[in-house]
Structure 1
């Protein structure tokens, strides 16, 4: 077959992180998408990010969506990651993806540290 090569479009890792981060802070405690926490956590371990570019993309997405950013979003607080409901959601997510146990607290603290100079 003589067909042209397919063209694939997708988000850059910077945009993926920014989109997921905005959802996490917008949804707060109502967030049930543990996958977003995991995806960001995995990305920040696999790639080196240009911090200024990431900050700009995060700011643009937050502005475009009218998201209000609190100085300390609930999703990055101990009350979130130690809550029994969030613990259960996290364990169920890890079971679904057959991933070794990694504490939700560790993931969120890693994310809070990663985002600290970008947004907090």
Structure 2
């Protein structure tokens, strides 16, 4: 087991726990990122975490809300701009928006609080990470294709530009209401991948 500091240059730092194990000859490497001082909204809740092995009890874990997961990855997208190599963040946000319903007011509060805490400017337009210019950079560097090679083929992931398009639909109303969060109204429906009034 090894613990290393991460985000050393940031005001709010964290640690990365690295655990290597051997299970019946299979090598397992687990990484756990631990954050300190992050803005978390809504409050964390205890959730049941499914087990991968049949017959074992499921874990009950205090979990970050998906709004906070999205807001932290979106903040990194803004902060790193063209230099962003965190390509898995795009996948993670995409999967999260396909899985959960969101109240726009809660997501706006989570994003606004994260940007404020990390002293990142509130965007007035789509960040570079969601533009065609960045898609060209990703293509040129082979970032998405490299990610796809490491991912399970069963995941059936779309092209990077398709992921960007869906994320623009998700983040458009969020960016539009960050300056006046009290006006944020709408529900994200993962089945139709759209914001609606109910």
TM-score range, shorter chain: 0.7 to 0.9
For 1:1-120, list aligned pairs within 5 A.
8-70=61-123, 71-83=125-137, 84-86=139-141, 88-99=142-153, 100-120=156-176
Give the 4+ runs in structure 1 shifted more than 6 A. Answer: none
Residues matched between the structures, number: 114
Q: Where do 5+ consecutive residues of structure 1 fail to align?
A: 1-5
TM-score by length of 1: 0.86
Q: What whole-Å deviation, never above 9, does each CA across 1:48-86 have from its counterpart, x for those lacking one?
A: 101101101100000111112442311111101123335
TM-score by length of 2: 0.54
State the distance in 1 between where 2:159 and 2:90 align. Answer: 12
Q: CA RMSD in A?
A: 1.6
Structure scoring higher RCO (CA < 8 A, sep ≥ 6) equals 1
Q: Where do 5+ consecutive residues of structure 2 fail to align?
A: 1-58, 177-198
How has the CA–CA distance of structure 1 residues 48 and 10 changed in structure 2, closer, same or farther, with 3 Å as cutoff?
Answer: same
**Greater strand share, structure number:** 2
